[in-house]
Amino acid sequence: DWRGQFFGVVFHFWFIAGVMWSSICLCPLKRCLLCFRGGSCTQGRRCAPRRSMEAMEAVPCTDGAAPRASQPWAARRTAPALYFGCFVGGGVAALVLALRSGVPWMLGAYADNIVDAVRTWGGGTLQYWGLPTNAADVVPFTQRVGTYVALSWSNIWILATGPRLASRPSLVTWALLFNTYGQRCLFYRAPDERPFHGFDLMTIGFAAYSLGLRHRRAIGKYVVRYWFVVLFILALLWPLGWHGRIDVSSPRAIDQVRFNLFEGAFIALWLVAGERLVQGEIFGEDRMQFLNQWALLVFLIHKAVHIVVPAPWNWVALFGLVPLRFAQELWRRRCELTAAAALLDTRPM
């Protein structure tokens, strides 16, 4: 019944809506962070040209309160760390305490309205993701929402204040990673946190693009060199025998910590060595670009295929599009070669 499960039918389009929403929320920070990327963020001064992520590792802090070069090495390192820890870390702690306690108090007065909205718009789909179905469930739900909002807002706080206080702006991205997965390990997150999860991941990517990642080149070199050791260590984090969707059946206690460390490790690995893990020859020599279009097409239609076509023919239909897309790519290349040959023939000698 697609009418009763409307949000389940078009759920994959929420990814696009989530990217748009996250981009709008992060837009106010974009100009200032790109100024730090260029090496200057002084009021009234035009931003310098953008630098690569590797170049951002060498960008010093432009704050006027930074220690002078004549001071001892320990003082030059300790003072920015104390400023960063007290101001930025204190703000994060205040946000977590305020939102985890304040949000349930604010939304608890509207328990009946929240339940009516879930029943009216969600059907069985939103209930499946943990939204409240009666008034008694609203308070636990709002407590979870406070936890999710606290993480997202604390990340924004770190991005807004961290580059001005850190000795190197590229260190802020590491602080963002530790804050994100530190809170995810400490506080339980139910299936209804998925929209906030996407926003947090985009915030990390935005910080890595704008500020860089300190020592990413050196770390990435050893990750690629000793990839088998990295995979062995990560395999030890995965609980033996675990199967199913973690985003639907969220684990608790030690398993929650293990899964979040697992995810955080892969995010960090992608940021430090993502461009070295995939060889360009896949698309240059092997010409596998058609897989990009096939993946996009399957992403858009796979839910409808699973509803209409019975198993196992639904998977046959989806993977059967691979040779069709490959044939279309061959035909496109042939047409381009024919057009190029015709153009050469019509040129005057």
Per-residue pLDDT tens over the stretch 98-130 = 888 777 777 767 777 777 777 776 655 565 566
Query: Helix and strand tally (H, E) in the chain?
Result: 17, 0
pLDDT at residue 48, as a whole number: 43
Q: Residue 42: pLDDT above 50? A: no
What's the whole-number mean pLDDT along residues 185-206?
87
What's the whole-number mean pLDDT along residues 339-344?
79
Does the pTM surpass 0.95? The reply is: no
What's the whole-number mean pLDDT along residues 233-241?
84
d(CA 191, CA 128): 9
pLDDT confidence tier of residue 49, bands split at 50, 70 and 90:
very low
The residues near 233 (Cβ < 8 Å, ≥ 6 apart) are none
pLDDT at residue 86, as a whole number: 83
Domain regions of the chain by residue span: 6-214, 290-346
For residue 173, the number of C-alpha atoms closer than 13 Å in the C-beta half-sphere is 28
d(CA 343, CA 341): 5
Mean pLDDT score across all residues of the chain? 78
d(CA 60, CA 175): 16
- Kindly compute the dihedral angle of the four CA atoms of residues 129, 114, 20, 265, in this order, to the nearest 10 degrees: -40
Instruction: Using alpha carbons, list the distances in angstroms from residue 105 to 93, 98, 139, 192.
Output: 19, 11, 8, 19
Instruction: Using alpha carbons, list the distances in angstroms from residue 232 to 96, 229, 265, 270.
Output: 35, 5, 13, 17
- Kindly report, residue by residue over 301-322, the tens digit of the pLDDT: 887 788 888 888 999 999 999 9
Return the exposure string of 316-327: e unless at least 16 CB atoms fall within 10 Å of the residue's CB, then b. ebbeebeeebee
d(CA 156, CA 162): 10
pLDDT confidence tier of residue 271, bands split at 50, 70 and 90:
very high
Instruction: Using alpha carbons, list the distances in angstroms from residue 106 to 115, 116, 165, 199, 348.
Output: 15, 17, 33, 23, 77
What's the whole-number mean pLDDT along residues 246-266?
84
Q: Residue 18: pLDDT above 70? A: yes
What single-letter DSSP state applies at residue 119?
I
pLDDT confidence tier of residue 55, bands split at 50, 70 and 90:
low
Residue type, 255: D
The residues near 124 (Cβ < 8 Å, ≥ 6 apart) are 4, 5
